[in-house]
Amino acid sequence: MAAAVFHQSLGSFVIHGQANSTTNLTKLNSKCFKVEVGVLRKKSPRSGNMNIKAIQASSSQTSVFDHISSPSINTTEESQKKQNEAALILIRHGESLWNEKNLFTGCVDVPLTKKGVEEAIEAGKRISNIPVDMIYTSSLIRAQMTAMLAMTQHRRKKVPVIVHNETEQARVWSQIYSEETKKQSIPVIASWRLNERMYGELQGLNKQETADRYGKEQVHEWRRSYDIPPPNGESLEMCAERAVAYFKDQIVPQLQSGKNVMIAAHGNSLRSIIMYLDKLTSQEVISLELSTGIPMLYIFKEGNFIRRGSPAGPSEAGVYAYTRSLALYRQKLDEMLN
């Protein structure tokens, strides 16, 4: 079960899955207290001012999430733009073979473990009622596997199709010649800018052995500080320069046009994006931990990102109560599929 936890003393929070997960490095102490998933009022003043009832009452617009076949719920691109509302799902990849071995991975391209595959499928179940129009992944296989496995669970059953624009030939050779087939597809765009932070000379080293050798504090600084890079690697700040820039340049315009977006990426590239979305300070981001395979939902509305936390299940009431659009989308899926 996912939970978001405030760290009272630091005023920041962690997002984690199983308490005993090997990838969850967060130690919860007595100063931490749980809050309802997705209601991070303290760190999200924009969302903190709203309660669910108020939001239900205020969201009387027509749906922006509807690309399913019923004509009664289709909206034009123009009205989507006007409404300016879209879902944003972030997923850290499932456990990789090097997570399992406790090795620094960074930009080394290793696949998921069996547990990672299961985590990705579970993540997919949790978001199976949330609309997805575009998928962004890093160029690394663990993020791409996660996105594809998660989408096998989506109730809408659109087909994720990797966009190949790396050369003109690749672009031409991967064309789809049916408008109907295109409509039933979800473009998947892979970019190295969403890759894990490049871990430099730590890549391939065992995390425990490195801590034994250089000291726990030094290794924690390399792993979690904002601006201290590991030897010949990227600091979180350097990672943010490419990942957040990509998010702002490529992904925000899609959200602004009403497209619902899923991003499958990595612990640190997502930490940098969440730092931007939640306006965390460089001190607060130190305590931000993401477990493997836990989806997190934001609503983009009127230029703001409103954190909705992690859907614990495909029908979690809180998620759907939040916007009329999401509730309608889910209802239409129920009607279509039942």
Ligand X SMILES: O=C(O)[C@@H](CO)OP(=O)(O)O
Task: Please list the active-site residues.
Answer: 93, 196
Q: How far is the CB of 7 from ligand X (least distance, A)?
A: 17
Residues, the chain, total?
338
Edge-first strand listing for the sheet containing 12-16: 12-16, 3-7, 32-35
Measured from the CB atom, the residue of 91 and 130 that comes closer to ligand X is 91
Measured from the CB atom, the residue of 223 and 332 that comes closer to ligand X is 223
Measured from the CB atom, the residue of 204 and 303 that comes closer to ligand X is 204
Ordered alpha helix ranges (H), 225-316: 236-246, 252-256, 267-277
93/293 Cα distance (integer angstroms): 5
User: Given the rule CB under 6 A, which residues bind ligand X?
Assistant: 99, 104-106, 196, 199, 223, 267-268
Q: How far is the CB of 268 from ligand X (least distance, A)?
A: 5
127/124 Cα distance (integer angstroms): 5
Measured from the CB atom, the residue of 56 and 139 that comes closer to ligand X is 139
Q: Which residues pair with 264 in a beta bridge?
A: 91, 137
Measured from the CB atom, the residue of 142 and 259 that comes closer to ligand X is 142
Q: How far is the CB of 196 from ligand X (least distance, A)?
A: 5
Q: How far is the CB of 105 from ligand X (least distance, A)?
A: 4
DSSP string, 129-166: TS--SEEEE-SSHHHHHHHHHHHTT-TT-PEEEE---S
Total Cβ atoms within 10 A of residue 169 = 9
240/226 Cα distance (integer angstroms): 9
User: Residue 32 is inside which H or E element, if any?
Assistant: strand 32-35
Q: How far is the CB of 98 from ligand X (least distance, A)?
A: 7
- In 3D space, the residue among 32, 139, 135, 52 whose CA is nearest the CA of residue 91 turns out to be 135
- For CA atoms 321, 324, 330, 331, the dihedral sign is positive
Measured from the CB atom, the residue of 27 and 53 that comes closer to ligand X is 27
Q: How far is the CB of 119 from ligand X (least distance, A)?
A: 13
Longest dimension (CA), the chain: 64
Taking CB positions, which residue lies at the least distance from ligand X? 105
270/290 Cα distance (integer angstroms): 8
